[in-house]
Structure 1
Amino acid sequence: MSNPYFQFKQFTVWHDKCAMKVGTDGVLLGAWTPVWEVRHILDIGTGTGLVALMLAQRSPVDTKIVALEIDESAVEQAKENVVRTPWKERVEVVQADFIQYQSSDKFDVIVSNPPYFIDSLECPDQQRNAARHNNSLTYEELLKGVAGLLAEDGAFTVVIPADVADRLKTMALKWDLYAVRQLNVVTKPGGAPKRVLITFSFNNQECIIESLLTEIARHQYSEEYISLTREYYLNL
């Protein structure tokens, strides 16, 4: 049986009630997303609350974070995880379907680690399907909703499979969202990117593309990955 929780330096994330466990995708999203001088953050599909808590750790002390989640069990777990942290007054866990979600405020930063198995065979576990497939929230619906909630000078950062990155960037143009920053994640030396993080904004400018190697050998993190995540991982 896998460990029911993951211990970080400043907080603990329990994930035994959630279909999607703590993983590298979420950690990368939480560590790479820029949060300087932001006041209002939205985490779409927060799951355990991992990314919301990572952003709370390094964002300004008056930043408010809405952690949005549709699954009832995940909402319960995220609330339990948040209340055990120093940022419980700054992170609000909200149970809602993003497609119907509305806010009177615009967000400076929006993040999402969305369902990513497109058109693939579903497993019998419905909770896991909702977390891992995009049937309940398509990329089109995600981008449309983000465009309506993002501040004029805000930024939306998402982590997705590398093979859908170009499609997503083209799709985003429909809502005047432009890729301005991209991180291609490589898991082993010489390998092709498996995951991509992309930051979108309404500002049409040249996209800065970088690469990150996570491991130089099995269970041996690269210096660049350590530098990115050292404020979070317990043993770095």
Structure 2
Amino acid sequence: MLAQRSTPDVTIVALEIDEIGVEQARENVERSPWSERIEVLHRDFNEFQADDKFDVIVSNPPYFVDSLACPDLQRNTARHNESLTYADLLKGVAGLLSDTGSFTIVIPTDVAELVKSMAANYQLYASRQLFVITKPGANPKRTLITFAFQAQECQPEELLIELARHEYSEEYIALTRDFYLKMA
């Protein structure tokens, strides 16, 4: 999706800790028209090092904290933040991000203020915050936050996904139509 929305000179490095996830991602990349611009690495973010800084970092990290674990180890690694805490993620991002770069994360809304506070410890400041609302009247369960090293006023936004069951909002259709056939 990043390659699809970026200019042809952009290269993308994708990290995945799960070996099966790496295989699936590499398969998908090979079948895409952007395969020359995407590299999928089997790496733990906590151990990742790079020679150059990144202009953009995007993360959908493990987000369950102190919640009931699943018997499936692969699923636990993907969903529970024991292997990558928010503090570890933010510290790593601060070391990998260019001075003018941006970092966007998707997290549960109930930890958004905590994550913004933690990010400030690494001189990362929220510039945009998108509250994702699944249906009218529902509280947002997920939030996307974009951070940068430059402190600025954070612009809150909302995205409503469904107006009714399987009836998607115009904003959601516009956002996803390039990725989902049912949105065409």
Aligned: 1:138 with 2:138: no
Given the alignment, which residue of 150, 169, 190 partners 2:97? 150
Q: Which residue of 1 aligns with 2:19?
A: 72
SS of structure 2 residue aligned to 1:160: strand
C-alpha deviation, 1:133, in angstroms: 0.2
The structural deviation recorded for 1:235 is 2.0
Q: Which runs of 5+ in 1 are unaligned?
A: 1-53
State the distance in 2 between where 1:234 and 1:90 align: 24
Flag structure 2 segments of 5+ consecutive residues without an equivalent: none
TM-score by length of 2: 0.98
**Alignment correspondent of 2:142:** 195
Q: 1:87 corresponds to which residue?
A: 34
User: Matched residues in 2 for 1:151 and 1:139: separation?
Assistant: 19
Q: Which has the higher contact order (CA 8 A, sep 6+)?
A: 1
1:218 to 162, 165, 176: 165
CA shift digits 1:115-143 (9 cap, x unpaired): 11110010110000000000000000000
Match for residue 105 of structure 1?
52
Q: What amino acid maps onto 1:119 in structure 2?
A: D
Partners of 1:232 and 1:123 lie apart in 2 by 30
- State how far apart, in whole Å, the 1-side matches of 2:25 and 2:79 are: 18
Give the deviation of 1:226 after TM superposition: 0.8
Instruction: Write out the 4+ residue segments of structure 1 that deviate beyond 3 Å after TM superposition.
Output: none
Secondary structure, counterpart of 2:46 in structure 1: coil
Choose the corresponding residue for 2:108, options 140, 161, 164. 161
User: Counterpart of 1:66 in 2: which secondary structure?
Assistant: strand
Q: Secondary structure at the match of 2:25?
A: helix
CA shift digits 1:193-227 (9 cap, x unpaired)? 11100000001000000011100001110111111
**CA distance in 1: counterparts of 2:75 and 2:179, whole angstroms:** 26
1:63 aligns with 2:10: yes
Separation in 1, partners of 2:180, 2:44 = 31
Per-residue deviation, 1:156: 0.2
> Is the partner of 1:60 in helix, strand or coil?
coil
**Superposed CA RMSD:** 0.7
Q: Secondary structure at the match of 2:36?
A: coil
